[in-house]
């Protein structure tokens, strides 16, 4: 699913398109309620959640839920912080929206969203420990209970940081691209995180693998 984004003239779009790998075909789906680009997007329990972004004139705090079965968008409780170019990841049924840009500075903000609490009397948002430094346009991927944040735009983005969603701790870790590394694509496959592409003054063709989960086999005597 590819919601919104910018068109060739730089304007944000409401267009939503879905790709079916088995038939190598694209379909147009229900449009976004408002034109947006630069949002954060994750999938959880069969639905998509879209956070913030830029609407062509300002950075927003809106949240939308998309149900593919109904082909329908629903507005949810807004983020506490308006921003674009943030990242989002899922751990234990909770969504963490991290970093971003608010029109003035890169943010270290880390806010937890729990969809099951998003009801009229619920409180779905909780402020969590912030990153060591502000980042926007960073790559984010979760492996087990650890969220990996790589690169980005900001004052201190030359390495990566890991967030333990259960303990609330942030820890730095080394990344293979030295210096600035904006907009790398991160994804988890099995036990590895792949960091692909990005920009550091020029467009990159890198494809780096990071072993995120280790399995230890312990012999048992019967």
pLDDT at position 212 = 86
pLDDT at position 147 = 97
pLDDT at position 49 = 98
pLDDT at position 219 = 78
- The predicted-structure confidence for 76-88, as pLDDT tens digits, reads as follows 999 999 999 999 9
Q: Which of helix, strand or coil describes residue 115?
A: helix
Q: What is the pTM of this model?
A: 0.93
- Residues 64, 49: Cα–Cα separation, whole Å: 6
pLDDT at position 149 = 96
**Would you give the end-to-end CA distance of the chain in angstroms?**
50
- The predicted-structure confidence for 150-186, as pLDDT tens digits, reads as follows 999 988 777 899 999 999 999 998 888 877 889 999 9
Where residue 127 falls (left for φ over 0; alpha for ψ -120 to 50; beta otherwise) is beta
Instruction: Give the model's confidence band at 59: pLDDT under 50 very low, under 70 low, under 90 confident, else very high.
Output: very high
Q: Residue 128, Cα to own-chain centre: how many angstroms?
A: 16
Please name the residue ranges forming H helices in 72-146.
none
Residues 6+ apart with CB under 8 A from 73: 30, 32, 33, 64, 65, 66
Report yes or no: 165 and 147 within 8 Å, Cβ to Cβ: yes
Q: Which of helix, strand or coil describes residue 116?
A: helix
Mean pLDDT of all residues in the chain? 94
- Residues 196, 217: Cα–Cα separation, whole Å: 31
pLDDT at position 3 = 97
């Amino acid at each position: 699913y590819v919601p919104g984004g910018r068109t060739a003239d730089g304007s944000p779009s409401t267009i939503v398109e879905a790709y079916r790998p088995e038939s190598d075909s694209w379909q147009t789906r229900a449009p976004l309620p408002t034109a947006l680009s630069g949002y954060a997007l994750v999938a959880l329990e069969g639905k998509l959640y879209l956070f913030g972004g830029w609407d062509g004139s300002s950075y927003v705090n809106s949240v939308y839920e998309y149900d593919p079965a109904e082909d329908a968008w629903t507005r949810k409780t807004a983020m506490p912080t308006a921003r674009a170019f943030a990242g989002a990841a899922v751990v234990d049924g909770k969504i963490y929206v991290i970093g971003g840009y608010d029109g003035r500075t890169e943010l270290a903000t880390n806010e937890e969203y729990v969809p099951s609490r998003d009801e009229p009397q619920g409180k779905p948002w909780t402020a969590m420990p912030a990153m060591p430094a502000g980042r926007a346009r960073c790559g984010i991927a979760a492996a087990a209970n650890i969220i990996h944040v790589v690169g980005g735009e900001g004052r201190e983005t030359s390495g990566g940081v890991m967030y333990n969603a259960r303990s609330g701790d942030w820890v730095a870790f080394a990344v293979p691209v030295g210096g600035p590394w904006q907009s790398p694509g991160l994804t988890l496959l099995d036990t590895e995180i792949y960091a692909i592409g990005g920009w550091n003054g020029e467009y990159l063709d890198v494809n780096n693998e990071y072993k995120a989960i280790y399995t230890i086999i312990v012999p048992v005597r019967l």
